[in-house]
Structure 1
């Protein structure tokens, strides 16, 4: 517990100021987190970091994370979609060049990893660019849902939510965690007028969707960790695991905020 608390304090001392500053410092941190997250997938699949497929994966996640306007002046590219297509093609081509140790299933897993991680962190940075209140709405929804689910689950949890994927999660914890976040966050943001463009009812609707989505993001990561038979995605955060362990819900929530129109 002591290590966990120390790691959380140090991480927040680094993360919060960069979140407030935004712009290039936050983008650099976001890109680093994306690269580390991809390296965690590579490690789960026992792919060493100096292979062609690892290089393609790192370039791909960086390309997707970068802001859309980064590509506007790049000849023949214009968008990250073009870069992603080229890299996906190279990933498939690599299955021919090194077919003895890298196959179609591997290519599919790493291409999806680039898209899943890159898109999540891309919209995380975009949310921060829209405003501190916007990104905090998504982050607080995730954190409060997670904390509420843990406390309610420990107190009254009896019915397993997904025993084959995450045996400690319960339906009581899941519903309780969402209820806590859905009641507190919209009320807090409405009282302090932190998102004046939205009514309380709109914030309430966003909260319901994002709270459920965050829990699904957690289960998705639990699912592929169980598939690869690992307890944590990594160990870069002592006591907390890896980047994917900490940002699994946000990788789903942030793109969904864009779909809901919260990011402009």
Structure 2
């Protein structure tokens, strides 16, 4: 069976189940995303260990869980402050070089994935249940459309490499095709789903561009970490796809930029959701 066939066999039912839980919302959705966020933390720790950065084995999980539960926790700031103080105290016994490597890799592993996942959760609950689902669906379709069009556009027309030292297969032609894919994803959500999105095409175009920039940046960030650790995938959890970090790398940066864009529209009165 080809690698592409494996990807399709896994991705279609997984995407259907993911969309169903996203539609249901509530704690079903929150718990799913918290679990995914912690799995991304686990795979991030593995990548840093592979590159001999020696992150702390416990602090990234504590930090990641704290971030993912921020909207629910009482005294959230105080809890986070206590975690940070304990972690810094535990580093004093280590040599200076190891201390710096552990501090940097632990903070990245605990912050990077969970912050992206938390903003994705926030988009789902930014408005009414139906509207929150539509905003979340718009982001997913833009990210998936960007990824699919970039893959096939790069294979068909790719000549000029984007970042040959990090991801040799990524090309500027694929990047351009990815923008069209994100636009197609937004158009599907706007015109083919029988629920109102409350975002016009003119409001959606900046989001398309932002997602098309930050999605590939998230992908390249994961590729850079994998290259540093000399590994092909972040794990083997998802056949044909690698790990959860591999599958959500574009969303981890697309979600924050889309959330900020939506938040800006709402604050300045340009959106009705």
TM-score (norm 1): 0.86
Match of 2:104 in 1: 108
In structure 1, the residue corresponding to 2:234 is in which secondary structure? Answer: coil
Q: Is the 8 A contact 2:49 2:55 kept in 1?
A: no
Q: Distance in 1 between matches of 2:261 and 2:84?
A: 28
2:65 maps to 62
Question: Residue 89 in 1 paired to residue 85 in 2?
Answer: yes
Cross-structure match for 2:204: 203
1:232 maps onto 2:233 in alignment? yes
Q: In angstroms, what is the RMSD of aligned CA positions?
A: 2.5
- Structure 2 Cα separation of the partners of residues 26 and 186 of structure 1: 22
User: 1:211 offset after TM fit, Å?
Assistant: 1.4
Partner of 1:120: 116
Structure 1 residues without counterparts, runs of 5 or longer:
none
> Once structures 1 and 2 are overlaid, which stretch shifts more, 102-111 or 2-11?
2-11
Asked whether the 8 Å contact 2:182–2:208 carries over to 1, the reply is yes
Which whole-Å deviations, capped at 9, do the CAs of 1:42-65 have from their partners, x for residues lacking one?
112339xxx993222112111111
CA contact under 8 A between 1:88 and 1:111: conserved in structure 2? no
Distance in 2 between the 1:58 and 1:197 partners?
Answer: 37
201-210 or 13-22: which moved more?
Answer: 13-22
**CA-CA distance at 1:245 after TM superposition:** 0.3
Q: Deviations over 1:95-152 (max 9, x none)?
A: 2234499522221111122121111111111122231111111111111111101111
Kindly indicate whether residue 179 of structure 2 is the aligned counterpart of residue 178 of structure 1.
yes
Alpha-carbon offset, residue 196 of structure 1? 4.3
Q: Distance in 1 between matches of 2:78 and 2:141?
A: 34
Q: Which whole-Å CA distance do the structure 1 matches of 2:245 and 2:55 have between them?
A: 23
Q: CA distance change for structure 1 residues 247 and 196 in 2, over 3 Å: closer, same or farther?
A: closer
Structure 2 unaligned regions, length at least 5: 127-131, 267-273
SS in 2 for 1:169: strand
Change (3 A) 1:139 1:196: closer
Cα contact 1:91–1:111 (8 A) shared by 2: no
Q: Runs ≥4 in structure 1, deviation > 4 angstroms?
A: 98-102, 192-196
Paired residues, number:
253
TM-score normalised by structure 2 residue count? 0.83
Supply the distance in 2 between the matched residues of 1:186 and 1:14 (Cα, whole angstroms): 21
2:239, 2:174 → 1: CA distance? Answer: 25
What's the counterpart of residue 134 of structure 2?
133
